Structure 1
Amino acid sequence: MSTLALKREESIAYLTIQSPPANALSSTLLNDLAKKLDEMEADSSIKAIVLKGEGKFFSAGADIKEFTSLQQASDYETLAKRGQDLFDRIEQFSIPVIAAIHGAALGGGLELAMACHMRIVTASAKLGLPEITLGIIPGFAGTQRLPHYVGSAKAYEMILTGEPISGEKAYTYGLANKVVEEGELEEEAKRLAQKIVEKSKWTINQVMQLIPYAKTSQFIEGVAKEREAFGQIFGSDDAKEGVQAFIEKRKPNFQDK
């Protein structure tokens, strides 16, 4: 069974994450996402995509329990590269992707949302990269994309504290295009998508190719360094303790090693 539902309405594709209870980014979900991107890319009628989560969350993060099954640093580095490559594909996609965020976009969930081209959030949504509270670090380019949107100072604060911010604050920080009340999210995302699909697909595609040039070569280097560090961190005692504490729903006892 697919973890993603794809529905088309005229020139808009609605892609819904369906992986209860938290819409965690499992390897199955990432595989399904890659397949759905292939499908939408092959459909010349689609001119905009709205990505949303079913249930309580957009996505509350990566599947931590799945992480614990990996053994070597190279396994974790490979996992990070896979997620980074997929999210980079979204950012470089020829069709604009709007993330409609409610409930929570945390960890890998926020990294997925940041790879999208636009973000609409509910005022009460929680957005953050809480990996550090588990003794680990973001691995799907979170350390590189977040400063691009909110600036270095706020990125340091968000990543080093691990504390999420509200949708309201995300809008103020420049992380979201628009903030709306809970019941208005889908309608607002649809409204933005409709404004886009009124335009010529030819011009949309050209814009989608041009804006990514604004990314510097340092971003590519930074993403590579992030996945290397992600692999190294997972071998530490503190990472093992942090992940175990998360699974057991208790406070971790870090030993700084």
Structure 2
Amino acid sequence: MNEAETKFKTMFVSTEETKAIWILTINNPPLNIITPVFFAEFEVVLKQYFQDREAKILIITGAGDRAFSMGADITEIASIDNAAQGRVLAKRGQDLYDQVENSDKPIIAAINSMCFGGANELILACHLRIASEKSKFAQSEINLGIIPGWGATQRLPRLIGTSRARKIILTGDMITAQEAYDIGMIDEIVQHGEVLNRSMEIAKKIIRNSQFAVAYAQKAIREGMKKSLSEGIKIELDCFEQVCASEDMKEGIHAYINKRQPQYKNR
């Protein structure tokens, strides 16, 4: 992927030198609203990211200082005339955000500013969330007479607990980065302007590891969270069995014993 190869209307997509780290910057000024065009382009990027063997990490951030994204396009919501149209709109977002959550390749949200509504649902589907100290969050759909439709009623309680999630969803109140961190909704707070740099640091740490092992760790966590603890342990057992048969397992152990850096082949 390279910006010269694919042009988008609502985002920039670039890669760092090795092409292992992709950066998707939501660019739909002034508030980086999520529109049907964004969804169409996002679907294209996800497909390319999943298929590209060189791509290891995707970082999603927002352009400018005003917003990571203020969420769904209100005019699109206002155009809903009946329940069936509402279902179509919700299903579109759910399907795309499911692709994010179900990715074996990690996806990091680098939250640079305001993150409301459908955008908050996007970061909940990501695997790690790094936020600027100036960022703010809200699941504000209730203030429009509706409920979240792109996954927040399910992902947020699983992430921070039912009671805390219920308060955020039922009040629509905005919370600060510190409040989001304190309840476990985000993983780190960094100085404003450093969110992308910190996300890149984490991404580089991850890609130094065996991507074969990373994918199975992702699978064990993802699938195990859908099951009881005892069933999840069995999923971990199956995944552990698979990585123990890999070339990377042998390389990792030999490198550790011989005090050298491993040279993983990701298989």
Unmatched runs of 5 consecutive residues or more in structure 2: 1-7, 229-267
**Other-structure match for 2:218:** 208
SS at match of 1:58: strand
Two-structure CA RMSD over aligned residues (Å) = 1.4
1:208 offset after TM fit, Å? Answer: 2.1
The structure showing larger relative contact order (alpha-carbon pairs under 8 Å, at least 6 residues apart) is 1
- In the alignment, what sits opposite 1:39? 48
How many angstroms apart in 2 are the aligned matches of 1:26 and 1:145?
22
Give 2:25's aligned residue.
Answer: 16
| Equivalent of residue 147 in structure 1, options 154, 157, 160 | 157
Length, aligned pairs only: 218
Distance, in Å, in 2 between the alignment partners of 1:150 and 1:85 is 22
Residues in 2 aligned to 1:22 and 1:187: alpha-carbon distance in whole angstroms: 22
1:28 pairs with 2:37: yes
Moved more, 171-180 or 66-75: 66-75
Alignment TM-score, normalising by the size of structure 2: 0.79
> Which structure 1 segments of 5+ residues have no match?
219-257
Shift in Å, 1:214: 2.7
TM-score normalized with structure 1 length: 0.82
Name 2:57's counterpart in structure 1.
Answer: 48
Alignment pair present for 1:184 and 2:178: no
Q: Which is higher, the Rg of structure 1 or of structure 2? A: 2
User: Residue 194 of structure 2: SS of its match in structure 1?
Assistant: helix
2:112/2:193 contact within 8 Å kept: no
Alignment of 1:81-100 (within 5 A): 81-100=91-110
- State the alpha-carbon separation in 2 of the partners of residues 158 and 67 from structure 1: 21
**Percent of aligned positions that are identical:** 36
In the other structure, the counterpart of 2:13 is 6
Query: Which string of whole-angstrom CA distances, capped at 9 and with x for unpartnered residues, describes residues 135-181 of structure 1?
Result: 11110011111111111111111111100111111111111110111
Partners of 1:89 and 1:124 lie apart in 2 by: 29
CA contact (8 A) 1:122 1:168 kept: no
Distance 2:223 2:77 in 1: 33
Displacement after TM superposition at 1:217 (Å)? 6.9
Runs of 4+ more than 2 Å apart: 214-218
Q: Shift of the alpha carbon at 1:127?
A: 0.9
Deviation (angstroms), 1:101: 0.5
Note if contact 1:124-1:168 (Cα within 8 Å) is conserved in structure 2. Answer: no
Q: Please show how residues 44-193 of structure 1 align to structure 2 within 5 Å.
A: 44-55=53-64, 56-193=66-203
